[in-house]
């Protein structure tokens, strides 16, 4: 195993961010069970983040994301496991002793304070005389300099979001936690705010954990994505790795549309209902499950309906078409550029464009 690989929950991951930068946070076998429930809310959760790394914890409602965040922040006591910040064991420290900044969904700005006063409020540890200068630095960085004397209700949602972030960063935390921070923004603002915030975090080398159930948000915002399933970390790795090489069917489906094919593997190939598919994992043998994304498949006109697929639905999405097809009783989904237009009811061949990814777990 080289320095860029690690094993999490028995799954080997490759991550270019796992480098020589200092470890900022280490979460070690964290467990939490609420009294009212039999099942663990969080079970045996472990990961390490390096300075400047952005992690998205992604999963459906109830999978334990918020509980994890609350334990890291110090709002929820842990049953077992350890949390280290900068190598310091903070597991049993109060939230105030942890140097963690949190941006909540509703921004939690003080309505009676100006933007500048809101930001300065976070600087209790900075001498009073230095606060205006520091506030100016963060307001400038966030593009808020001209709004410094306004009150929160005089700002747009995106601007309030940036003030909340400026206030969090002004306290110079070791770690920033974001709990669904974009969910109150409308779709177009969400995308631009997300991009701006990522750029700001990268510039300030901030270590961040974002909690979200939005897979597009996790894949675009984070350097590392951890997919949670029933309190456990089902997989962690770069967005590209978890998307293209999901650990199980749950991860494959949660990260977007996919075609799960069952076939027989032998000598680096799998016989599937769509024909022989090459696999990156040359050692797999016997029955395996493959994940092929809709964009990994290509359609071509079929001369007849023999051994062909029928288009049962077509969705025009601007830059592409999303097709649903049926072949031998199985359904498939395929994305093609929008100049590849086939009518519903027509017959096509489905060709596999890239090698498949064998799912290591049943899931």
Ligand X SMILES: Nc1ncnc2c1ncn2[C@@H]1O[C@H](COP(=O)(O)OP(=O)(O)OP(=O)(O)O)[C@@H](O)[C@H]1O
Which residues of the shown chain bind ligand X in the complex (CB under 6 A)?
A: 34, 36-37, 41, 59, 61-67, 213
Minimum separation from the CB atom of position 32 to ligand X (A)? 8
Minimum separation from the CB atom of position 211 to ligand X (A)? 7
Of 17 and 105, CB closest to ligand X? 105
Rounded distance between C-alpha atoms, residue 118 and residue 11, angstroms: 44
Strands 224-229 and 269-272: unpaired
Mutual orientation of helices 187-204 and 131-141 as an angle, nearest 10°?
130
Cβ-contact 182, 190 below 8 angstroms: yes
Of 72 and 311, CB closest to ligand X? 72
Cβ-contact 244, 279 below 8 angstroms: no
Of 42 and 170, CB closest to ligand X? 42
Of 174 and 180, CB closest to ligand X? 180
Minimum separation from the CB atom of position 9 to ligand X (A)? 17
Three-state secondary structure readout of 184-239: CCCHHHHHHHHHHHHHHHHHHCCCEEEEECCHHHHHHHCCEEEEEECCEEEEEECH
Residue with tokens 């078409």: 321
Of 1 and 36, CB closest to ligand X? 36
Minimum separation from the CB atom of position 61 to ligand X (A)? 3
Of 41 and 279, CB closest to ligand X? 41
Of 45 and 123, CB closest to ligand X? 45
Minimum separation from the CB atom of position 215 to ligand X (A)? 13
Instruction: Please name which of 247, 257, 256, 213 lies closest in space to residue 63, comparing C-alpha atoms.
Output: 213
Minimum separation from the CB atom of position 38 to ligand X (A)? 10
Minimum separation from the CB atom of position 216 to ligand X (A)? 16
Of 61 and 96, CB closest to ligand X? 61
Minimum separation from the CB atom of position 153 to ligand X (A)? 27
């Amino acid at each position: 195993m080289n320095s860029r690989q690690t094993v999490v929950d028995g799954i080997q991951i490759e991550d270019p961010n796992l480098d020589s930068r200092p470890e900022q946070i280490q979460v070690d076998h964290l467990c939490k069970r609420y009294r009212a429930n039999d099942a663990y809310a969080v079970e045996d959760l472990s990961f390490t983040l390096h300075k400047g790394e952005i992690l998205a914890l992604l999963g459906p409602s109830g999978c334990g994301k918020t509980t994890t965040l609350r334990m890291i922040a110090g709002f929820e006591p842990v049953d077992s496991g350890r949390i280290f910040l900068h190598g310091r064991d903070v597991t049993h420290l109060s939230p105030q002793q942890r140097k963690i900044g949190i941006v909540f969904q509703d921004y939690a700005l003080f309505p009676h304070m100006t933007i500048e006063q809101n930001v300065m409020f976070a600087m209790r540890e900075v001498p009073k005389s230095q606060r205006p200068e520091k506030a100016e630095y963060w307001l400038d960085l966030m593009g808020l300099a001209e709004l410094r004397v306004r009150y929160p209700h005089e700002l747009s949602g995106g601007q309030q979001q940036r003030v909340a972030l400026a206030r969090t960063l002004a306290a110079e935390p070791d770690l920033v936690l974001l709990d669904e921070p974009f969910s109150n923004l409308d779709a177009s603002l969400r995308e631009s705010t997300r991009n701006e915030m990522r750029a700001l975090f990268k510039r300030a080398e901030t270590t961040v954990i974002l909690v979200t159930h939005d897979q597009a948000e996790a894949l675009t915002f984070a350097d590392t994505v951890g997919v949670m399933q029933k309190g456990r970390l089902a997989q962690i790795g770069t967005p590209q790795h978890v998307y293209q090489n999901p650990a199980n069917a749950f991860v494959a489906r949660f990260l977007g549309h996919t075609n799960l094919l069952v076939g027989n593997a032998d000598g680096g190939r799998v016989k599937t209902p769509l024909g022989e598919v090459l696999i990156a994992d040359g050692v797999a043998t016997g029955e395996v499950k493959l994940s092929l994304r809709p964009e990994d498949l290509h359609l071509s006109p079929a001369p007849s309906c023999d051994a062909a697929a029928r288009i049962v639905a077509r969705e025009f999405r601007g830059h592409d078409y999303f097709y649903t097809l049926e072949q031998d009783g199985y359904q498939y989904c395929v994305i093609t550029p929008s100049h590849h237009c086939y009518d519903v009811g027509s017959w096509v061949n489905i060709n596999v464009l890239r090698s498949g990814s064998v799912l290591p777990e049943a899931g």
